[in-house]
Structure 1
Amino acid sequence: MRKYLLVYPNRDYGKLMWRDLKELDNVEFVDKPLSVNNILVDFLFRIHFSFKVNMKIELPLKRFWEKYYSLNHYDFNQEDEYVVLFTDPSLCNYRKRFLEKLKSKSNVNMVLVLINSFYRMRRIVEPMLECFDLIYTYDKRESETFGFSYYPTVYSMINIGKVEIVKHKCFFVGVAKDRLEKLICVYDKLELCGCSPVFYISGVPKRMQKRRKGIVYNTWLPYKLVLKEVLSSEYIVEIMDKNNAGVTLRTLESICYNKKLITDNEKILESPFYRKDFIYLIDSNLAAFNDFFKCINEVNYAYDGRYSPVLFISRLERELNKSVI
């Protein structure tokens, strides 16, 4: 029997996106990197494997944690075949040496799913790529550049109860990165159109913050709160950063929860869900916002569940069966 072990990252969205897999009997979840339940130990581990810190300097002595890894205590039954599934955020909690040890087991396949731009985590992730039998990315451009397999993305819909929709509310959430100037410009245009833009922008130093009524800087929202904002909004705003060229989370939310989308992602025109009445592609002049807001058609993308991770597991099954043959 083939079993799948999904290694969760230390973040709420990273768990919720795979939620549909709980329907499958052959999928187990590694909820935490460590097998110990101790707040102090967990805190030290998070610091030691901090993405931000290790992007600047590789911290030493990480081998210490191997004996505490949940995967190190998992009983790999020799009668079964296992597929250990990592995402790039969860991969950042491990060392290459430990992955090599895991891969050396005769009944284990290793699969990596990149849910962020490879360029963002390249320094940490790239040395470990050779440990994986299959690597998937949501970014078609990166799949062609680095030879990864392409898979649009995975997403599980979540029921968080009834939420009242605020008319003309436009919602954005994300890290500023290289797009702060454009975010401010789009915000100002939306406000001039009589909308109620609410932007949560993080990663902005105080000296670069431009005060606006509806902009909240450097406040982290758990993903369920993000979803409440999405569901209470009429419009979702998406501004791409320079390294992103795939199906984004904001696009998924718009399609799955039937929300109008305002985006500068030209790739949206290739989406099977593109509807000009529901999706506004921002041009260089930010023109025609008013006409888009006047459209009162009921939003319905007729989403068919194609991004469910259950279908991704089906794809993996076919790929793995080919390699056996």
Structure 2
Amino acid sequence: MRFNYIIAGGTAGYYRAAYSDVCGLDNVMYYSSYIDGIQSKFKRFLVRANFNIKLNRFLKTPLRKIVNPWLFPNRFGNKNLCFLFFECEFAVLNSDYPAYLRKRYPGAKLVLYMHDVVSSLPYYDMCKYKKEFDLILSYDKGDCRRYGLQYYPTPYSKLELKATSNERIDVFFCGASKDRYNEIIDAYKKCTEEGLKCKFFITDVPSDKQIVGDGLIYNKTISYKENLSYVAQSKCILEIMQKGANGNTFRLWEAIMYDKHLLTNNTDVVESRYYSPDFVHIVNESV
């Protein structure tokens, strides 16, 4: 059976980049958020109000009967539908919207893909999701074991790579500090001690934790397009995993697609079919 896919994706640029190969297919509709596809500013306001996290602490999706029919409009009617949700749509996932879809499209399949580890946010309700979705996929094998999910590696589509300057970078990192800031800084220190030129964009770092160093840029958000321009100028990409995570991230696919070296602390990468010691280097062993 050939399904028609409605993808409830994320606003971050890397989501659309990762799925760009399928976004142009005639049986795929991709939405960057739950207001995407809604033209009326007033309707968008009502949808945002309905899913507002603070409001929902006191009153659960008060406008659901009004706004649910507006979400993720599709051109396929009721025929062979598969709704694919990303974990970042937790406001919708935690509402009665999946149940609404079941009622409106009885034959539709509901699928959830976790691009992040379950422990990364307090909003995820895996017990609820497992009751409501036909299939839950995860990029992380550890989460698959813990929650009984099905493993599927992070999708990625190759985009045209363009450097925006002549700056040459030996090691590039871009990401939030999360629970790995010390490991990121340790890698930076080791690389610079070896005379390597680093460019690290690290967000969510309080001022009292910041250190001064060449190529360290704090709390500056860049688009995924900008991220790729720095990848183009770099010899090596640094990957530092969140604690408890061991799935293949976008960093591995960027290294493969754009012929870069990967420096990672994910020791499980050696089990990947894409692993090669010629371009993948383990932090504790290589630095």
Q: TM-score range by the shorter chain?
A: 0.7 to 0.9
2:110 maps to: 110
User: By how many angstroms is 1:96 displaced?
Assistant: 2.7
- 1:112 aligned counterpart, secondary structure: strand
Seen in structure 2, the aligned counterparts of structure 1 residues 46 and 164 have a Cα distance that, compared at 3 Å, is farther
- 2:226 aligned counterpart, secondary structure: helix
User: By how many angstroms is 1:26 displaced?
Assistant: 1.5
Seen in structure 2, the aligned counterparts of structure 1 residues 196 and 73 have a Cα distance that, compared at 3 Å, is closer
Structure 1: which 5+ runs fail to align? 290-325
Distance in structure 1 (CA, Å) of the matches to 2:122 and 2:154? 19
One-letter identity of the residue aligned with 1:214:
G
User: By how many angstroms is 1:109 displaced?
Assistant: 1.0
1:38 maps to: 41
One-letter identity of the residue aligned with 2:259:
N
User: By how many angstroms is 1:64 displaced?
Assistant: 2.0
- 1:62 aligned counterpart, secondary structure: coil
Distance in structure 1 (CA, Å) of the matches to 2:189 and 2:131? 46
Residues 113 and 138, structure 2, Cα contact 8 Å, conserved in 1? yes
User: By how many angstroms is 1:124 displaced?
Assistant: 3.1
Correspondences of 1:175-186 after superposition (within 5 Å): 175-186=176-187
- 2:29 aligned counterpart, secondary structure: strand
One-letter identity of the residue aligned with 1:38:
K
One-letter identity of the residue aligned with 1:60:
L
Distance in structure 1 (CA, Å) of the matches to 2:15 and 2:57? 24
Distance in structure 1 (CA, Å) of the matches to 2:50 and 2:244? 26
Distance in structure 2 (CA, Å) of the matches to 1:66 and 1:207? 47
- 2:11 aligned counterpart, secondary structure: coil
1:21 maps to: 22
User: By how many angstroms is 1:72 displaced?
Assistant: 6.6
> Which segment is superposed worse, 159-168 or 270-279?
159-168
Residues 50 and 63, structure 2, Cα contact 8 Å, conserved in 1? no
Seen in structure 2, the aligned counterparts of structure 1 residues 243 and 49 have a Cα distance that, compared at 3 Å, is farther
Seen in structure 2, the aligned counterparts of structure 1 residues 163 and 272 have a Cα distance that, compared at 3 Å, is farther
One-letter identity of the residue aligned with 1:209:
Q
Seen in structure 2, the aligned counterparts of structure 1 residues 128 and 272 have a Cα distance that, compared at 3 Å, is closer
User: By how many angstroms is 1:143 displaced?
Assistant: 1.0
Distance in structure 2 (CA, Å) of the matches to 1:66 and 1:249? 38
Residues 176 and 204, structure 1, Cα contact 8 Å, conserved in 2? yes
Residues 92 and 124, structure 1, Cα contact 8 Å, conserved in 2? no
One-letter identity of the residue aligned with 2:99:
E
Residue by residue over 1:57-78, the C-alpha shift from the partner in whole angstroms, topping out at 9 and shown as x without a partner, is 8463533266345437546634
Residue by residue over 1:70-107, the C-alpha shift from the partner in whole angstroms, topping out at 9 and shown as x without a partner, is 437546634x1100110101343454312101122222
One-letter identity of the residue aligned with 1:116:
D
2:61 maps to: 62
Residue by residue over 1:125-171, the C-alpha shift from the partner in whole angstroms, topping out at 9 and shown as x without a partner, is 42334211011011112112211111112111111435667555210
1:82 maps to: 81
Distance in structure 2 (CA, Å) of the matches to 1:196 and 1:160? 21
Residues 94 and 125, structure 2, Cα contact 8 Å, conserved in 1? no
One-letter identity of the residue aligned with 2:86:
T
- 1:63 aligned counterpart, secondary structure: coil
Please report the RMSD computed on the Cα atoms of aligned residues, expressed in angstroms: 2.8
1:260 aligns with 2:261: yes
Could you tell me the percent identity over the aligned residues?
A: 25
Seen in structure 2, the aligned counterparts of structure 1 residues 224 and 75 have a Cα distance that, compared at 3 Å, is closer
One-letter identity of the residue aligned with 2:117:
S
User: By how many angstroms is 1:123 displaced?
Assistant: 3.1
User: By how many angstroms is 1:288 displaced?
Assistant: 4.9
Correspondences of 1:1-325 after superposition (within 5 Å): 2-34=3-35, 35-38=38-41, 41=44, 45=48, 49=52, 58=57, 60-64=59-63, 67-69=66-68, 70-71=70-71, 73-74=73-74, 77-78=77-78, 80-104=79-103, 105-121=105-121, 123-126=123-126, 127-161=128-162, 166-167=167-168, 169-283=170-284, 288-289=286-287
User: By how many angstroms is 1:204 displaced?
Assistant: 0.8
Seen in structure 2, the aligned counterparts of structure 1 residues 65 and 10 have a Cα distance that, compared at 3 Å, is farther
Seen in structure 2, the aligned counterparts of structure 1 residues 82 and 229 have a Cα distance that, compared at 3 Å, is same
User: By how many angstroms is 1:23 displaced?
Assistant: 4.4
Structure 2: which 5+ runs fail to align? none
Seen in structure 2, the aligned counterparts of structure 1 residues 129 and 9 have a Cα distance that, compared at 3 Å, is farther
> Which segment is superposed worse, 120-129 or 183-192?
120-129
